Structure 1
Protein backbone atom coordinates (compact mmCIF):
# COMPACT_ATOMS: atom_id res chain seq x y z
CA UNK A 1 0.00 0.00 0.00
CA UNK A 2 2.81 2.37 0.91
CA UNK A 3 4.43 1.73 -2.47
CA UNK A 4 1.16 2.67 -4.27
CA UNK A 5 0.83 5.91 -2.29
CA UNK A 6 4.43 6.87 -3.02
CA UNK A 7 3.93 6.13 -6.73
CA UNK A 8 0.85 8.38 -6.89
CA UNK A 9 2.70 11.17 -5.09
CA UNK A 10 5.53 11.00 -7.61
CA UNK A 11 3.09 11.06 -10.53
CA UNK A 12 1.31 14.13 -9.13
CA UNK A 13 4.60 15.95 -8.71
CA UNK A 14 5.37 15.26 -12.36
CA UNK A 15 2.14 16.87 -13.62
CA UNK A 16 3.21 20.13 -15.34
CA UNK A 17 2.07 23.43 -13.83
CA UNK A 18 0.14 24.44 -16.96
CA UNK A 19 -2.24 21.50 -16.42
CA UNK A 20 -3.49 23.28 -13.29
CA UNK A 21 -3.36 26.83 -14.66
CA UNK A 22 -5.40 25.81 -17.72
CA UNK A 23 -8.32 25.10 -15.41
CA UNK A 24 -8.23 28.57 -13.86
CA UNK A 25 -9.44 31.78 -15.51
CA UNK A 26 -6.71 34.32 -16.31
CA UNK A 27 -6.27 37.24 -13.96
CA UNK A 28 -8.68 40.15 -14.60
CA UNK A 29 -7.41 43.56 -15.77
CA UNK A 30 -6.73 46.14 -13.05
CA UNK A 31 -9.67 48.06 -11.61
CA UNK A 32 -10.08 51.80 -12.23
CA UNK A 33 -10.79 54.41 -9.57
CA UNK A 34 -11.00 58.18 -10.08
CA UNK A 35 -12.29 60.87 -7.74
CA UNK A 36 -12.88 64.64 -7.89
CA UNK A 37 -12.50 67.34 -6.59
CA UNK A 38 -10.03 68.78 -7.07
CA UNK A 39 -11.05 69.20 -10.72
CA UNK A 40 -8.11 69.69 -13.09
CA UNK A 41 -7.82 70.25 -16.83
CA UNK A 42 -4.84 67.89 -16.73
CA UNK A 43 -7.20 64.97 -16.08
CA UNK A 44 -10.55 66.29 -17.37
CA UNK A 45 -11.30 67.79 -20.78
CA UNK A 46 -14.02 70.33 -21.64
CA UNK A 47 -15.27 69.98 -25.23
CA UNK A 48 -17.97 71.97 -27.07
CA UNK A 49 -18.85 73.48 -30.45
CA UNK A 50 -15.73 75.47 -31.36
CA UNK A 51 -17.84 77.94 -33.37
CA UNK A 52 -18.81 79.41 -29.98
CA UNK A 53 -15.41 81.05 -30.05
CA UNK A 54 -14.78 81.04 -26.31
CA UNK A 55 -12.02 79.43 -24.22
CA UNK A 56 -12.89 76.24 -22.36
CA UNK A 57 -12.47 77.88 -18.95
CA UNK A 58 -15.45 80.14 -19.74
CA UNK A 59 -17.80 77.23 -20.60
CA UNK A 60 -16.50 74.85 -17.89
CA UNK A 61 -15.59 77.42 -15.28
CA UNK A 62 -14.10 76.87 -11.85
CA UNK A 63 -16.12 78.42 -9.04
CA UNK A 64 -14.78 81.19 -6.83
CA UNK A 65 -13.57 80.05 -4.36
CA UNK A 66 -12.51 76.88 -6.23
CA UNK A 67 -14.31 73.64 -5.56
CA UNK A 68 -17.03 73.27 -8.16
CA UNK A 69 -17.24 73.36 -11.95
CA UNK A 70 -19.89 75.65 -13.47
CA UNK A 71 -21.27 74.91 -16.94
CA UNK A 72 -22.60 78.05 -18.60
CA UNK A 73 -22.80 80.03 -21.84
CA UNK A 74 -24.10 83.58 -22.09
CA UNK A 75 -25.25 83.59 -25.71
CA UNK A 76 -26.90 80.33 -26.74
CA UNK A 77 -27.89 76.79 -25.77
CA UNK A 78 -24.90 74.55 -26.50
CA UNK A 79 -23.76 70.96 -26.10
CA UNK A 80 -20.83 70.45 -23.72
CA UNK A 81 -18.71 67.40 -22.87
CA UNK A 82 -16.71 67.18 -19.65
CA UNK A 83 -14.90 63.84 -19.55
CA UNK A 84 -11.93 62.00 -18.11
CA UNK A 85 -9.05 62.44 -20.56
CA UNK A 86 -7.95 58.78 -20.54
CA UNK A 87 -10.15 55.94 -21.80
CA UNK A 88 -11.03 53.25 -19.26
CA UNK A 89 -11.27 49.50 -19.84
CA UNK A 90 -14.81 48.10 -19.55
CA UNK A 91 -14.39 44.67 -21.16
CA UNK A 92 -11.66 42.68 -22.84
CA UNK A 93 -11.97 40.53 -25.94
CA UNK A 94 -11.38 36.86 -25.21
CA UNK A 95 -11.52 37.37 -21.45
CA UNK A 96 -14.18 35.84 -19.19
CA UNK A 97 -14.17 39.07 -17.18
CA UNK A 98 -16.09 42.32 -17.65
CA UNK A 99 -16.19 45.47 -15.59
CA UNK A 100 -19.01 46.34 -13.23
CA UNK A 101 -18.93 50.03 -12.41
CA UNK A 102 -20.19 52.52 -9.86
CA UNK A 103 -20.30 56.26 -10.30
CA UNK A 104 -21.68 59.06 -8.18
CA UNK A 105 -21.81 62.82 -8.60
CA UNK A 106 -23.53 65.82 -7.04
CA UNK A 107 -25.12 68.36 -9.36
CA UNK A 108 -27.30 71.45 -9.10
CA UNK A 109 -29.46 72.88 -11.89
CA UNK A 110 -29.38 76.51 -10.83
CA UNK A 111 -31.67 79.36 -11.88
CA UNK A 112 -31.08 83.06 -11.37
CA UNK A 113 -31.88 83.96 -7.77
CA UNK A 114 -33.93 86.95 -8.96
CA UNK A 115 -36.41 84.73 -10.76
CA UNK A 116 -39.66 84.67 -8.83
CA UNK A 117 -40.86 81.41 -10.38
CA UNK A 118 -38.71 78.35 -9.82
CA UNK A 119 -39.55 75.99 -12.64
CA UNK A 120 -37.80 73.30 -14.64
CA UNK A 121 -36.03 74.87 -17.59
CA UNK A 122 -34.82 73.48 -20.88
CA UNK A 123 -31.57 71.63 -20.48
CA UNK A 124 -30.06 68.49 -19.09
CA UNK A 125 -26.97 66.55 -18.18
CA UNK A 126 -26.02 62.92 -18.79
CA UNK A 127 -23.43 60.58 -17.38
CA UNK A 128 -22.03 59.15 -20.60
CA UNK A 129 -19.82 56.33 -21.84
CA UNK A 130 -18.60 57.25 -25.32
CA UNK A 131 -16.11 55.98 -27.94
CA UNK A 132 -14.50 59.42 -28.36
CA UNK A 133 -13.96 62.45 -26.18
CA UNK A 134 -14.82 64.99 -28.91
CA UNK A 135 -18.32 66.49 -29.07
CA UNK A 136 -17.87 66.87 -32.85
CA UNK A 137 -21.08 67.90 -34.62
CA UNK A 138 -23.33 66.59 -31.85
CA UNK A 139 -25.95 69.20 -31.02
CA UNK A 140 -27.71 70.12 -27.76
CA UNK A 141 -30.81 68.14 -28.79
CA UNK A 142 -28.83 64.95 -28.05
CA UNK A 143 -26.91 66.24 -25.01
CA UNK A 144 -23.85 66.42 -27.25
CA UNK A 145 -23.67 62.62 -27.50
CA UNK A 146 -24.01 62.16 -31.28
CA UNK A 147 -25.97 63.60 -34.23
CA UNK A 148 -29.55 62.26 -34.31
CA UNK A 149 -32.54 61.89 -36.60
CA UNK A 150 -35.06 64.42 -35.25
CA UNK A 151 -38.00 62.14 -36.04
CA UNK A 152 -36.77 59.18 -33.98
CA UNK A 153 -33.96 60.20 -31.63
CA UNK A 154 -31.83 57.50 -33.22
CA UNK A 155 -28.30 58.24 -34.47
CA UNK A 156 -28.09 59.93 -37.86
CA UNK A 157 -27.42 57.49 -40.66
CA UNK A 158 -28.32 54.51 -38.49
CA UNK A 159 -24.76 54.12 -37.28
CA UNK A 160 -23.78 52.33 -34.10
CA UNK A 161 -22.54 55.05 -31.77
CA UNK A 162 -21.11 52.70 -29.12
CA UNK A 163 -22.61 55.03 -26.51
CA UNK A 164 -24.50 54.42 -23.28
CA UNK A 165 -25.78 57.32 -21.19
CA UNK A 166 -28.01 58.07 -18.22
CA UNK A 167 -29.70 61.37 -19.03
CA UNK A 168 -31.22 63.79 -16.53
CA UNK A 169 -33.52 65.80 -18.78
CA UNK A 170 -34.95 68.89 -17.09
CA UNK A 171 -36.91 70.16 -20.09
CA UNK A 172 -40.63 70.10 -20.86
CA UNK A 173 -39.98 70.23 -24.58
CA UNK A 174 -42.75 68.74 -26.73
CA UNK A 175 -40.80 69.15 -29.98
CA UNK A 176 -39.90 65.47 -30.18
CA UNK A 177 -42.72 62.94 -30.03
CA UNK A 178 -40.34 60.19 -28.88
CA UNK A 179 -39.12 62.16 -25.84
CA UNK A 180 -41.27 62.36 -22.68
CA UNK A 181 -42.58 65.98 -22.42
CA UNK A 182 -41.77 66.05 -18.69
CA UNK A 183 -38.55 66.17 -16.66
CA UNK A 184 -37.24 62.61 -16.58
CA UNK A 185 -34.27 60.33 -16.10
CA UNK A 186 -33.64 57.95 -18.98
CA UNK A 187 -31.25 55.20 -20.05
CA UNK A 188 -29.93 55.74 -23.58
CA UNK A 189 -28.33 52.89 -25.52
CA UNK A 190 -27.13 53.96 -28.97
CA UNK A 191 -30.07 56.40 -29.14
CA UNK A 192 -31.48 59.29 -27.13
CA UNK A 193 -34.89 57.63 -27.42
CA UNK A 194 -34.45 56.03 -24.00
CA UNK A 195 -35.01 52.30 -23.50
CA UNK A 196 -36.30 53.12 -19.99
CA UNK A 197 -37.31 56.39 -18.35
CA UNK A 198 -39.05 57.74 -15.28
CA UNK A 199 -40.45 61.11 -14.20
CA UNK A 200 -38.15 63.08 -11.92
CA UNK A 201 -39.74 65.67 -9.63
CA UNK A 202 -41.64 68.87 -10.17
CA UNK A 203 -39.56 72.02 -10.58
CA UNK A 204 -39.36 73.22 -6.96
CA UNK A 205 -38.26 69.75 -5.84
CA UNK A 206 -35.37 69.56 -8.29
CA UNK A 207 -34.17 72.98 -9.42
CA UNK A 208 -31.79 74.93 -7.14
CA UNK A 209 -31.12 71.88 -4.99
CA UNK A 210 -27.99 69.79 -4.67
CA UNK A 211 -28.88 66.35 -6.01
CA UNK A 212 -26.59 63.34 -5.58
CA UNK A 213 -26.82 60.75 -8.36
CA UNK A 214 -25.68 57.14 -7.86
CA UNK A 215 -25.37 54.84 -10.90
CA UNK A 216 -24.38 51.18 -10.54
CA UNK A 217 -23.87 48.59 -13.26
CA UNK A 218 -23.62 44.87 -12.48
CA UNK A 219 -21.79 43.03 -15.29
CA UNK A 220 -22.86 39.64 -13.89
CA UNK A 221 -26.58 40.44 -13.96
CA UNK A 222 -26.50 42.97 -16.83
CA UNK A 223 -28.42 45.30 -14.53
CA UNK A 224 -28.14 49.10 -14.23
CA UNK A 225 -29.62 51.07 -11.32
CA UNK A 226 -29.98 54.83 -10.85
CA UNK A 227 -30.56 56.40 -7.45
CA UNK A 228 -31.16 60.00 -6.35
CA UNK A 229 -30.68 61.79 -3.07
CA UNK A 230 -31.75 65.31 -2.19
CA UNK A 231 -28.48 66.44 -0.61
CA UNK A 232 -29.92 69.87 0.26
CA UNK A 233 -32.36 68.17 2.61
CA UNK A 234 -30.06 65.42 3.91
CA UNK A 235 -26.65 67.05 4.22
CA UNK A 236 -23.87 65.13 2.43
CA UNK A 237 -24.04 62.56 -0.40
CA UNK A 238 -24.93 59.24 1.18
CA UNK A 239 -26.02 56.30 -0.93
CA UNK A 240 -27.87 54.72 2.00
CA UNK A 241 -30.17 57.77 2.02
CA UNK A 242 -30.82 57.70 -1.72
CA UNK A 243 -33.90 56.30 -3.48
CA UNK A 244 -33.88 53.82 -6.36
CA UNK A 245 -35.38 55.75 -9.27
CA UNK A 246 -34.69 53.63 -12.34
CA UNK A 247 -33.52 50.08 -12.96
CA UNK A 248 -32.97 48.19 -16.18
CA UNK A 249 -32.15 44.54 -16.87
CA UNK A 250 -30.57 43.50 -20.13
CA UNK A 251 -27.74 45.99 -20.58
CA UNK A 252 -24.71 44.08 -21.88
CA UNK A 253 -22.07 46.79 -21.74
CA UNK A 254 -19.59 44.65 -23.66
CA UNK A 255 -22.02 44.54 -26.59
CA UNK A 256 -22.84 48.25 -26.37
CA UNK A 257 -19.58 50.19 -25.96
CA UNK A 258 -15.93 49.91 -26.96
CA UNK A 259 -13.45 47.95 -24.85
CA UNK A 260 -11.71 51.24 -24.08
CA UNK A 261 -14.25 54.05 -23.65
CA UNK A 262 -14.39 57.56 -22.26
CA UNK A 263 -16.46 58.35 -19.18
CA UNK A 264 -17.80 61.63 -17.88
CA UNK A 265 -20.58 64.07 -18.67
CA UNK A 266 -22.39 65.28 -21.75
CA UNK A 267 -24.91 68.06 -21.48
CA UNK A 268 -27.33 70.55 -23.00
CA UNK A 269 -26.39 73.82 -21.30
CA UNK A 270 -29.00 76.59 -21.43
CA UNK A 271 -28.36 80.30 -21.89
CA UNK A 272 -26.90 81.70 -18.65
CA UNK A 273 -29.94 83.90 -18.04
CA UNK A 274 -32.03 80.71 -17.90
CA UNK A 275 -29.65 78.81 -15.69
CA UNK A 276 -26.26 77.21 -15.09
CA UNK A 277 -25.13 73.80 -13.82
CA UNK A 278 -22.91 73.19 -10.81
CA UNK A 279 -20.88 69.97 -10.57
CA UNK A 280 -19.70 69.53 -6.97
CA UNK A 281 -18.01 66.14 -7.07
CA UNK A 282 -17.59 62.99 -9.12
CA UNK A 283 -16.36 59.47 -8.42
CA UNK A 284 -16.05 56.55 -10.84
CA UNK A 285 -14.72 53.04 -10.23
CA UNK A 286 -14.72 49.63 -11.90
CA UNK A 287 -14.57 46.12 -10.48
CA UNK A 288 -13.81 43.24 -12.83
CA UNK A 289 -16.03 40.19 -12.39
CA UNK A 290 -16.70 36.94 -14.25
CA UNK A 291 -19.15 38.07 -16.89
CA UNK A 292 -22.61 36.66 -17.45
CA UNK A 293 -22.40 33.58 -19.65
CA UNK A 294 -18.75 32.91 -18.87
CA UNK A 295 -17.78 29.22 -18.91
CA UNK A 296 -15.50 29.65 -15.88
Structure 2
Protein backbone atom coordinates (compact mmCIF):
# COMPACT_ATOMS: atom_id res chain seq x y z
CA UNK A 1 0.00 0.00 0.00
CA UNK A 2 1.41 3.39 -0.90
CA UNK A 3 2.02 5.77 2.00
CA UNK A 4 1.54 8.93 -0.02
CA UNK A 5 0.00 10.16 -3.24
CA UNK A 6 -0.02 13.24 -5.43
CA UNK A 7 -2.99 15.54 -5.01
CA UNK A 8 -4.47 17.52 -7.88
CA UNK A 9 -2.50 20.53 -6.64
CA UNK A 10 0.79 18.67 -6.98
CA UNK A 11 1.35 18.35 -3.22
CA UNK A 12 2.21 15.04 -1.58
CA UNK A 13 -0.51 13.97 0.86
CA UNK A 14 -0.97 10.80 2.91
CA UNK A 15 -2.76 7.89 1.28
CA UNK A 16 -6.41 8.21 2.46
CA UNK A 17 -6.75 4.48 3.13
CA UNK A 18 -3.65 4.52 5.33
CA UNK A 19 -5.07 7.49 7.25
CA UNK A 20 -8.31 5.59 7.96
CA UNK A 21 -6.46 2.44 9.01
CA UNK A 22 -4.35 4.49 11.43
CA UNK A 23 -7.51 5.95 13.00
CA UNK A 24 -9.03 2.49 13.37
CA UNK A 25 -5.94 1.18 15.17
CA UNK A 26 -7.12 1.33 18.79
CA UNK A 27 -4.82 1.53 21.80
CA UNK A 28 -5.58 -1.03 24.54
CA UNK A 29 -5.78 0.11 28.15
CA UNK A 30 -2.80 -1.19 30.14
CA UNK A 31 -4.96 -1.89 33.19
CA UNK A 32 -8.29 -2.99 31.69
CA UNK A 33 -8.51 -5.58 28.84
CA UNK A 34 -12.00 -4.34 27.93
CA UNK A 35 -11.13 -0.66 27.37
CA UNK A 36 -9.52 0.95 24.35
CA UNK A 37 -8.74 4.46 23.11
CA UNK A 38 -9.02 5.84 19.59
CA UNK A 39 -8.58 9.08 17.69
CA UNK A 40 -10.75 10.73 15.03
CA UNK A 41 -10.28 11.70 11.43
CA UNK A 42 -10.63 15.36 10.43
CA UNK A 43 -13.97 16.30 8.91
CA UNK A 44 -15.16 19.46 7.12
CA UNK A 45 -18.04 19.94 9.60
CA UNK A 46 -15.83 19.41 12.67
CA UNK A 47 -17.82 16.47 14.12
CA UNK A 48 -16.75 12.85 14.40
CA UNK A 49 -17.84 10.84 11.35
CA UNK A 50 -20.44 8.30 12.42
CA UNK A 51 -19.04 5.53 10.24
CA UNK A 52 -15.64 5.95 11.87
CA UNK A 53 -16.85 5.57 15.46
CA UNK A 54 -19.16 2.69 14.42
CA UNK A 55 -16.20 0.83 12.90
CA UNK A 56 -14.00 1.56 15.92
CA UNK A 57 -16.68 0.33 18.30
CA UNK A 58 -16.99 -2.95 16.38
CA UNK A 59 -13.21 -3.41 16.37
CA UNK A 60 -13.09 -2.82 20.13
CA UNK A 61 -15.75 -5.48 20.67
CA UNK A 62 -13.98 -7.85 18.29
CA UNK A 63 -10.73 -7.48 20.24
CA UNK A 64 -12.40 -9.20 23.23
CA UNK A 65 -13.73 -12.17 21.24
CA UNK A 66 -11.98 -15.40 20.27
CA UNK A 67 -10.36 -15.15 16.84
CA UNK A 68 -12.58 -17.82 15.24
CA UNK A 69 -15.72 -15.67 15.82
CA UNK A 70 -16.69 -12.91 13.42
CA UNK A 71 -19.49 -10.34 13.70
CA UNK A 72 -22.74 -11.38 12.05
CA UNK A 73 -24.90 -8.51 13.35
CA UNK A 74 -24.57 -5.05 14.84
CA UNK A 75 -27.10 -2.62 16.29
CA UNK A 76 -25.98 0.83 17.31
CA UNK A 77 -27.46 4.15 18.44
CA UNK A 78 -25.76 7.49 17.81
CA UNK A 79 -26.40 9.45 21.01
CA UNK A 80 -24.27 12.60 20.82
CA UNK A 81 -22.08 14.40 18.33
CA UNK A 82 -18.43 13.51 18.86
CA UNK A 83 -15.64 16.08 19.17
CA UNK A 84 -12.77 15.44 16.75
CA UNK A 85 -10.08 16.99 18.94
CA UNK A 86 -10.73 14.68 21.89
CA UNK A 87 -9.86 10.96 22.14
CA UNK A 88 -12.66 8.39 22.30
CA UNK A 89 -12.74 5.69 24.96
CA UNK A 90 -14.32 2.36 24.02
CA UNK A 91 -15.68 0.37 26.97
CA UNK A 92 -16.67 -3.22 26.15
CA UNK A 93 -19.08 -5.30 28.22
CA UNK A 94 -18.91 -9.08 27.74
CA UNK A 95 -22.57 -10.08 27.72
CA UNK A 96 -22.20 -13.75 26.81
CA UNK A 97 -19.80 -16.33 25.41
CA UNK A 98 -21.62 -19.47 24.28
CA UNK A 99 -20.51 -22.47 22.25
CA UNK A 100 -21.35 -20.75 18.95
CA UNK A 101 -22.11 -17.09 19.69
CA UNK A 102 -20.55 -14.24 21.66
CA UNK A 103 -22.37 -10.99 22.45
CA UNK A 104 -20.76 -7.67 23.34
CA UNK A 105 -22.08 -4.24 24.30
CA UNK A 106 -19.72 -1.34 23.66
CA UNK A 107 -20.00 2.33 24.56
CA UNK A 108 -17.94 4.97 22.77
CA UNK A 109 -17.29 7.68 25.38
CA UNK A 110 -16.11 11.28 25.40
CA UNK A 111 -15.94 13.27 28.64
CA UNK A 112 -17.52 10.28 30.37
CA UNK A 113 -20.67 10.38 28.22
CA UNK A 114 -21.60 7.92 25.45
CA UNK A 115 -21.61 9.24 21.91
CA UNK A 116 -22.52 5.80 20.52
CA UNK A 117 -23.86 2.63 22.12
CA UNK A 118 -23.60 -0.64 20.19
CA UNK A 119 -24.44 -4.29 20.68
CA UNK A 120 -22.81 -6.84 18.36
CA UNK A 121 -23.02 -10.60 18.05
CA UNK A 122 -20.17 -12.84 16.88
CA UNK A 123 -20.38 -16.41 15.62
CA UNK A 124 -18.06 -19.27 14.76
CA UNK A 125 -18.28 -20.46 11.14
CA UNK A 126 -21.03 -23.07 10.82
CA UNK A 127 -22.92 -24.95 8.10
CA UNK A 128 -26.67 -24.54 7.66
CA UNK A 129 -29.48 -23.52 5.33
CA UNK A 130 -28.17 -21.19 2.67
CA UNK A 131 -29.86 -18.99 0.09
CA UNK A 132 -29.77 -15.34 -0.94
CA UNK A 133 -31.56 -12.78 -3.06
CA UNK A 134 -30.06 -12.16 -6.47
CA UNK A 135 -28.35 -8.95 -7.51
CA UNK A 136 -30.35 -6.84 -10.00
CA UNK A 137 -29.60 -7.58 -13.63
CA UNK A 138 -28.13 -5.19 -16.19
CA UNK A 139 -26.35 -3.00 -13.63
CA UNK A 140 -23.62 -0.88 -15.28
CA UNK A 141 -20.10 -1.95 -14.35
CA UNK A 142 -18.28 0.41 -11.97
CA UNK A 143 -15.88 1.35 -14.78
CA UNK A 144 -18.88 2.76 -16.69
CA UNK A 145 -20.14 4.94 -13.80
CA UNK A 146 -18.83 8.38 -12.84
CA UNK A 147 -16.76 8.48 -9.67
CA UNK A 148 -17.02 10.99 -6.84
CA UNK A 149 -13.57 12.12 -7.98
CA UNK A 150 -14.95 13.01 -11.42
CA UNK A 151 -17.97 14.83 -9.95
CA UNK A 152 -16.25 16.84 -7.20
CA UNK A 153 -12.59 16.84 -8.26
CA UNK A 154 -12.81 19.99 -10.44
CA UNK A 155 -14.59 22.01 -7.73
CA UNK A 156 -12.44 24.34 -5.60
CA UNK A 157 -14.31 24.07 -2.30
CA UNK A 158 -13.17 22.59 1.05
CA UNK A 159 -15.96 19.99 1.19
CA UNK A 160 -15.50 19.00 -2.46
CA UNK A 161 -11.75 18.69 -1.97
CA UNK A 162 -12.28 16.58 1.13
CA UNK A 163 -14.57 14.04 -0.55
CA UNK A 164 -12.58 13.93 -3.78
CA UNK A 165 -9.03 13.92 -2.40
CA UNK A 166 -9.19 12.65 1.19
CA UNK A 167 -11.90 9.99 0.98
CA UNK A 168 -10.65 6.42 1.47
CA UNK A 169 -13.43 5.06 -0.77
CA UNK A 170 -14.29 5.42 -4.43
CA UNK A 171 -18.07 6.00 -4.58
CA UNK A 172 -19.95 5.71 -7.90
CA UNK A 173 -23.69 6.39 -8.12
CA UNK A 174 -25.39 4.49 -10.95
CA UNK A 175 -28.29 6.98 -11.13
CA UNK A 176 -26.09 10.05 -10.58
CA UNK A 177 -24.85 11.59 -7.33
CA UNK A 178 -26.67 14.01 -5.01
CA UNK A 179 -23.60 16.07 -4.11
CA UNK A 180 -24.46 19.13 -6.20
CA UNK A 181 -28.23 19.00 -6.50
CA UNK A 182 -31.32 16.76 -6.41
CA UNK A 183 -31.89 13.90 -8.82
CA UNK A 184 -34.07 14.53 -11.90
CA UNK A 185 -36.49 11.82 -10.76
CA UNK A 186 -37.96 11.43 -7.28
CA UNK A 187 -37.40 7.78 -6.50
CA UNK A 188 -36.57 6.01 -3.25
CA UNK A 189 -34.17 3.62 -4.96
CA UNK A 190 -30.54 3.96 -5.91
CA UNK A 191 -27.52 1.77 -6.62
CA UNK A 192 -23.97 2.69 -5.67
CA UNK A 193 -20.64 0.99 -6.36
CA UNK A 194 -18.11 1.41 -3.51
CA UNK A 195 -14.51 0.23 -3.17
CA UNK A 196 -11.54 1.14 -0.98
CA UNK A 197 -8.94 3.13 -2.90
CA UNK A 198 -6.02 0.93 -1.83
CA UNK A 199 -5.52 -2.79 -1.08
CA UNK A 200 -6.21 -3.84 2.50
CA UNK A 201 -4.82 -6.51 4.85
CA UNK A 202 -6.41 -9.95 4.78
CA UNK A 203 -8.29 -9.39 8.05
CA UNK A 204 -12.00 -10.24 7.90
CA UNK A 205 -12.89 -8.34 11.10
CA UNK A 206 -11.26 -5.23 9.62
CA UNK A 207 -13.13 -5.62 6.32
CA UNK A 208 -16.45 -5.96 8.14
CA UNK A 209 -15.65 -2.87 10.22
CA UNK A 210 -14.73 -0.93 7.08
CA UNK A 211 -18.04 -1.93 5.51
CA UNK A 212 -19.71 -0.24 8.50
CA UNK A 213 -17.43 2.77 7.97
CA UNK A 214 -18.16 3.14 4.26
CA UNK A 215 -21.90 2.60 4.28
CA UNK A 216 -22.55 5.58 6.56
CA UNK A 217 -21.69 7.84 3.60
CA UNK A 218 -24.68 6.74 1.51
CA UNK A 219 -27.33 5.09 3.70
CA UNK A 220 -29.66 8.11 3.95
CA UNK A 221 -29.35 9.14 0.31
CA UNK A 222 -32.48 7.23 -0.83
CA UNK A 223 -34.47 9.42 1.58
CA UNK A 224 -33.00 12.56 0.02
CA UNK A 225 -33.57 11.21 -3.49
CA UNK A 226 -37.21 10.35 -2.77
CA UNK A 227 -37.84 13.78 -1.23
CA UNK A 228 -36.22 15.68 -4.10
CA UNK A 229 -33.37 16.92 -1.87
CA UNK A 230 -29.59 16.77 -2.04
CA UNK A 231 -26.57 17.21 0.21
CA UNK A 232 -26.55 20.95 -0.62
CA UNK A 233 -30.21 21.62 0.18
CA UNK A 234 -30.17 25.01 1.99
CA UNK A 235 -31.01 24.83 5.69
CA UNK A 236 -31.19 21.04 5.85
CA UNK A 237 -30.00 19.30 9.04
CA UNK A 238 -29.12 15.61 8.81
CA UNK A 239 -27.68 13.16 11.36
CA UNK A 240 -27.57 9.39 11.86
CA UNK A 241 -29.79 8.08 14.66
CA UNK A 242 -29.28 4.33 14.59
CA UNK A 243 -27.63 1.71 12.46
CA UNK A 244 -28.04 -2.05 11.94
CA UNK A 245 -25.88 -4.40 9.87
CA UNK A 246 -26.18 -8.12 9.19
CA UNK A 247 -23.16 -9.78 7.58
CA UNK A 248 -24.17 -12.88 5.64
CA UNK A 249 -20.78 -13.88 4.24
CA UNK A 250 -17.16 -12.80 4.17
CA UNK A 251 -16.61 -9.47 2.45
CA UNK A 252 -13.71 -7.55 0.98
CA UNK A 253 -14.14 -3.80 0.78
CA UNK A 254 -11.10 -3.44 -1.50
CA UNK A 255 -13.17 -5.20 -4.20
CA UNK A 256 -16.15 -3.47 -5.81
CA UNK A 257 -19.39 -3.79 -3.81
CA UNK A 258 -22.83 -2.82 -5.11
CA UNK A 259 -25.21 -1.20 -2.62
CA UNK A 260 -28.81 -1.74 -3.78
CA UNK A 261 -30.70 0.83 -1.71
CA UNK A 262 -34.27 1.80 -0.89
CA UNK A 263 -36.28 3.78 1.64
CA UNK A 264 -39.46 2.31 3.17
CA UNK A 265 -40.62 5.68 4.47
CA UNK A 266 -39.97 8.99 6.20
CA UNK A 267 -41.95 10.81 8.90
CA UNK A 268 -41.52 12.92 12.04
CA UNK A 269 -38.26 14.44 10.84
CA UNK A 270 -36.81 10.93 10.39
CA UNK A 271 -36.13 8.79 7.33
CA UNK A 272 -35.20 5.12 7.00
CA UNK A 273 -32.68 3.82 4.48
CA UNK A 274 -32.03 0.17 3.65
CA UNK A 275 -29.42 -1.59 1.55
CA UNK A 276 -28.44 -5.01 0.28
CA UNK A 277 -24.74 -5.31 -0.49
CA UNK A 278 -23.51 -7.56 -3.32
CA UNK A 279 -20.08 -8.48 -4.61
CA UNK A 280 -19.33 -7.72 -8.22
CA UNK A 281 -20.16 -11.32 -9.17
CA UNK A 282 -23.57 -11.13 -7.48
CA UNK A 283 -23.05 -12.65 -4.02
CA UNK A 284 -25.11 -11.08 -1.21
CA UNK A 285 -22.68 -10.29 1.62
CA UNK A 286 -24.61 -7.92 3.91
CA UNK A 287 -27.91 -6.21 4.66
CA UNK A 288 -28.01 -2.76 6.29
CA UNK A 289 -30.59 -0.37 7.71
CA UNK A 290 -30.16 3.14 9.06
CA UNK A 291 -32.59 5.73 10.39
CA UNK A 292 -31.58 9.35 10.35
CA UNK A 293 -32.84 12.73 11.43
CA UNK A 294 -33.57 14.82 8.35
CA UNK A 295 -35.00 18.26 8.96
CA UNK A 296 -35.71 20.72 6.16
CA UNK A 297 -36.93 24.33 6.28
TM-score, normalised relative to structure 1: 0.30
| Bigger CA radius of gyration | 1
* Higher RCO, 1 vs 2 (CA within 8 Å, ≥6 residues apart): 1
